[in-house]
Amino acid sequence: MTKWTANDLPDLTGRTVVITGAGRGLGLITARELARAGAHVVMGVRDTGKAQRAVTGVPGTFDIRPLDVADLTSVRAFAGSWSGDLHILINNAGVMDIPAERTADGLDLQTTTNHTGPFVLTNLLLEHITDRVVHATSQLHRQGKIDLSDLDWRTRKYDGMRAYEASKLAGVLFSLELQRRLSASGSRVRSVLASPGIARTALAAHSRSNFINRFTFLTNDPERGALSVLYAATQDVPGNSYVGPDGFGGLRGYPAVRRQGKAGLDPVMAARVWEATADLAGAPAR
């Protein structure tokens, strides 16, 4: 069977894409490939100088803008300055299993980076989005447990890995509820999930888990990991599809439409997570 690669990307001339956390890792590969296919790529990054250096000499159009998805003031400024159509928003920025830390808004840093910040960004940009929102998720959402009364780790003892898993499940449920709302309003905009499997990036640098380095035969190189995101961003998949590697355990391989975990398909929980996140962020619950 022919495997889908970045060479199969359609011509994206005239399309504008925002990629958060695009200065390195999977986000940078995604930015490079979408630009190569002709898209106007807006890179929302914390360190604009580093991102500029990363794309120097790379063919394509890159527009590098400051964005810290864990800082809601930065998120609002980024979205507030947007004008014109945005075809594709890719919520890629993420952290994994980091130590407990509070943001400038007093929120949990990991949960905000992976879920609350992207939730606010997406809602604020939604009126401009014409094609789709892609959420970078993880197979680890399957292990996720969400405590609706403490989404932001205020009363429980913080656990970095549990917080990662919960934040990724929250993102999967966000996609489900977003798609429901979009469809209910008659919008043609899609919400799509992309899991890179396990790709050998710096993501797990803070983690006690040494899985990536110990089991390289089970993992994707970053180029292949990014294919799930590229596929989810450009292929004609149904709303709320879960795109991930076609190989063993969804950990490695080429992109295919797979299925999210059962907990990620619970519409009642999705609506509750939406409301709880909106409360947390003081964001508009559209």
User: Which residues make up the interface to ligand NAP (CB under 6 A)?
Assistant: 20-21, 23-27, 46-47, 67-70, 92-96, 113, 136, 138, 195-196, 198-199, 201-203, 225
SS3 137: coil
- The Cα-based distances of 228 to 1, 215, 232 in angstroms read 17, 20, 6
164 is catalytic: yes
Strand order in the sheet with 242-245: 61-66, 40-45, 16-20, 86-91, 129-136, 190-194, 242-245, 255-258
Single-letter amino acid, residue 149 = S
61-66 and 40-45 beta bridge pairing: parallel
Q: Which is nearer to ligand NAP, 239 or 250 (CB)?
A: 250
Q: How far is the CB of 27 from ligand NAP (least distance, A)?
A: 5
Q: How far is the CB of 256 from ligand NAP (least distance, A)?
A: 16
Q: How far is the CB of 143 from ligand NAP (least distance, A)?
A: 12
Q: Which is nearer to ligand NAP, 187 or 247 (CB)?
A: 247
Q: How far is the CB of 276 from ligand NAP (least distance, A)?
A: 20
Single-letter amino acid, residue 202 = A
Four-residue CA torsion sign, 67, 90, 126, 276: negative
CB distance 215 to 223 below 8 Å: no
- The Cα-based distances of 11 to 35, 228, 235 in angstroms read 10, 18, 12
Catalytic annotation, pick one of 158, 164, 242, 254: 164
Q: Which is nearer to ligand NAP, 179 or 201 (CB)?
A: 201
Q: How far apart are CA 111 and CA 92, in angstroms?
A: 14
Q: Which is nearer to ligand NAP, 25 or 253 (CB)?
A: 25
Residues with Cβ within 8 Å of 76's Cβ and at least 6 positions away in sequence, in order, are 120, 124
Q: How far is the CB of 194 from ligand NAP (least distance, A)?
A: 8
Q: Which is nearer to ligand NAP, 12 or 54 (CB)?
A: 54
* Residues assigned a catalytic role: 164
